[in-house]
Amino acid sequence: MAPCAYDERYSGRTLIGPTKASGEVMSADWRHDSAVAQSQNAGHGHGHDYVVGSPHLRHDSLRRRIESRIEEAVHEIRARQGRCSVLEIGAGHGSFTDTVLAAGATAVVTEMSEASYQHLLVKYRHSSAVRVLYDVDGETPFRDGAQYDLVLLISVLHHIPDYIETVRRICDHLLSDNGSILTYQDPLWYPRQKRWRRALNWGAYFAWRTTQGELRRGLATRWRRLRGTYSDSEQSDLVEYHVVRQGVDEVALRDLLEPRFSKIELDLYFSTQSPQLHKLGTKLAPPNTFGIIGTGHKI
């Protein structure tokens, strides 16, 4: 998918004429991004269970894999400079925020879901080490103006239409000198995968979906993807944005990050929602998910 138009004057989006508030027409890109943000909010409302559909939260081995990488990143930074400030974008209910705090860092956490934002406010109301930001449009960290030693994006990039541009802006504006970035739990770029691998991944997904009573919606989403059409009104086409499109281009991300960091590590692994299929797949199936760790940010 080609990146969206970018214009510094409008914090990552291009307007045609005045804003919608003045009654004028907004660009298609702006309207689309707004629909995505609204779907993220609606799709993660009060009572939403992040664990059931999230392999990285549901499966202990995978969760520990990510936790250990966060701990290593925080400990390395603290050993070098005595402190570590973390920005966690899309913190959900704070599962990995707890890891950040246990490792001795301070955290600024953002959420696009109002319900999750309220959950985080309550959860960390007594902690002076956490600041919670409601990020209704994805721009709050940039408006906030702070820089951080470590930026976390756990199961986040595939929700962002123009994730390449977002990561570039994070590196160039939010990350301190010699800082680190850590992303995990995004689907590998589908066009580079062989057909049988894609079929295996979708088969595992649908096997899980049948246990959730949402098979019809899953089949409808899959049919639209096969036809190459997507809806701006269907939550399933907007929340898991790149999951139902082409996946996330790990090579493009690596190429973006390599000149900006002293070291880049690409971590490939298998994941799926079903506990039984996840356990089997980690032993027998090829990778379908990835993480990237960049250390030694160069300003």
- Cα distances from 236 to residues 90, 187, 243, in angstroms, run 18, 16, 10
Burial 83-108 (b: 16+ CB within 10 A, else e): ebbbbbbbbbbbbbbebbbebebbbb
Global pTM? 0.77
* 28-60 tens-digit pLDDT: 454 555 555 555 555 455 555 555 567 877 788
Answer left, alpha or beta for residue 37, where phi above 0 means left and psi between -120 and 50 means alpha.
Answer: alpha
pLDDT of residue 229: 54
Distance CA 206, CA 154 (A): 23
Tokens of 42: 């609606």
- What is the pLDDT tens value at each position of the chain, 299 positions in all? 333 332 222 233 222 222 333 333 334 454 555 555 555 555 455 555 555 567 877 788 899 999 999 999 999 999 999 999 999 999 998 999 999 999 999 999 999 888 999 999 999 999 999 999 999 889 999 999 899 999 999 999 988 888 999 999 999 999 999 999 999 999 999 999 888 777 777 766 666 566 665 556 656 665 555 555 555 555 555 545 656 678 899 999 999 999 999 999 999 999 987 778 788 888 888 999 999 999 999 98
Distance CA 186, CA 99 (A): 20
Distance CA 116, CA 89 (A): 12
Distance CA 296, CA 299 (A): 10
